[in-house]
C-alpha cells in the first residue's frame, strides 16, 4: 500500500515582462504551465513567487465567488514531486 500526501492549492505571483499574474496552483510548475496554456504566444517570465505557505494562508476567497471551494490534491508519496 502506498502512502498518500495531500497537497493544498497555494497562491503564486508570476511576473512577466509586461504583466503580473496571480495563480492558485499546487506548485510553481503547475502555476507556470497553467498560464502558458492560456497564452497565445510565449511570455518572458521574470519571476515566480509563492505567496502562501503551510504556516499562514493569505488568500481568502468568499464562498459567493467560489462556492465549490479549493480542491486539495492527493499524490502518491512514492512518486517524485515537482
Query: How does pLDDT run across 49-65, given as a tens digit for each residue?
Result: 887 766 555 556 666 66
Residue 81 lies in a domain: no
Check: CB of residue 22 under 8 Å from CB of residue 11.
yes
Check: CB of residue 32 under 8 Å from CB of residue 38.
no
Predicted pLDDT at 3: 83
pTM, to two decimals: 0.62
Residue 80 lies in a domain: no
Containing structural domain, residue 49: 4-75
Residue 82 lies in a domain: no
What is the SS3 string spanning 5-38? Answer: EEECCEEEEEEECCCEEEEEECCHHHHHHHHHHH
Total number of domains constituting the chain: 1
| DSSP H/E element including 47 | strand 45-50
Residue 35 lies in a domain: yes
Amino acid at each position: 500500500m502506498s502512502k498518500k500526501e495531500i497537497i493544498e492549492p497555494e497562491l503564486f505571483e508570476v511576473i512577466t515582462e509586461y504583466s503580473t499574474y496571480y495563480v492558485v496552483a499546487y506548485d510553481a510548475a503547475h502555476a507556470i504551465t497553467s498560464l502558458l496554456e492560456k497564452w497565445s504566444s510565449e511570455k518572458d517570465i521574470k519571476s515566480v513567487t509563492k505567496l502562501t505557505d503551510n504556516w499562514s494562508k493569505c488568500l481568502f476567497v468568499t464562498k459567493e465567488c467560489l462556492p465549490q471551494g479549493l480542491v486539495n490534491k492527493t499524490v502518491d508519496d512514492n512518486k517524485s514531486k515537482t
